[in-house]
Amino acid sequence: MSGEEEENAAELKLGEEFLKAKCLMNCEVALILDRKYEQLQQMSDDPMNQISQVFEKSLQYVKRFSRYKNPDAVRQVREILSRNKLAEFELCVLGNLCPETVEEALAMVPSLKSKGRNHDDDAIEKMLHDLSLIKKFE
């Protein structure tokens, strides 16, 4: 498949299907899976029986790597990031990794600096600062 060869997240080449899909940050996935896990628990006494290994591993992973635990904070993070005209994928990488400096943010998301986009360093720095504030006051 030629599409497979072209794929490169650093240049936002994800294939048409995934560009249109909604990306989820780890903290959002944690909220969704937690809720689903509770539902399963109510339906049967032994939820582990019904749960696939993929589900279990994903839940453990997102819980370990969620930067924000509180649902309100998660909503705010998405709001702040979406003000900056980011692609869905870029938004989620920043939300997941929480880079501290502009340099780090650009290393994590090289497509921020690709041509035709007007993200100057000040704008990025402000965005990172806003994110760290949410973390602090969570």
Partner 1 sequence: MFFHMVLERNMQLHPRHFGPHLRDKLVAKLMKDVEGTCSGRHGFVVAITGVDSIGKGLIRDGTGFVTFPVKYQCVVFRPFKGEILEAVVTMVNKMGFFAEAGPVQIFVSNHLIPDDMEFQSGDMPNYITSDGSVKIQKDSEVRLKIIGTRVDATEIFCIGTIKDDFLGVINEPGAAA
Residues that bind partner 1 in the complex, under the rule CB under 8 A: 4, 7-11, 14, 17-18, 21-26, 28-29, 32-33, 36, 52-55, 57-58, 61-62, 64-65, 89, 92-93, 96-97, 99, 103-104, 107-108
Task: Select 36 or 126, whichever has its Cβ closest to partner 1.
Answer: 36
CB of 104: closest distance to partner 1 in angstroms?
A: 5
Residue 29 CB, nearest distance to partner 1 (Å)?
Answer: 5
User: At how many degrees (to 10) do helices 71-82 and 121-137 cross?
Assistant: 170
For partner 1, the closer of residues 34 and 120 by Cβ is 34
DSSP state of 65: T
Q: Give the nearest distance from C-beta 92 to partner 1 in angstroms.
A: 6
* CA dist list (Å): 30 to 55, 68, 81, 86, 135: 11, 10, 19, 22, 17
Residue 77 CA to residue 80 CA, distance in Å, equals 5
CA separation for the pair 4, 8 (Å, rounded)? 9
Give the Cα separation of 125 and 131 in Å (integer). 10
Q: How far is the CB of 94 from partner 1 (least distance, A)?
A: 11
Q: Which is nearer to partner 1, 2 or 53 (CB)?
A: 53
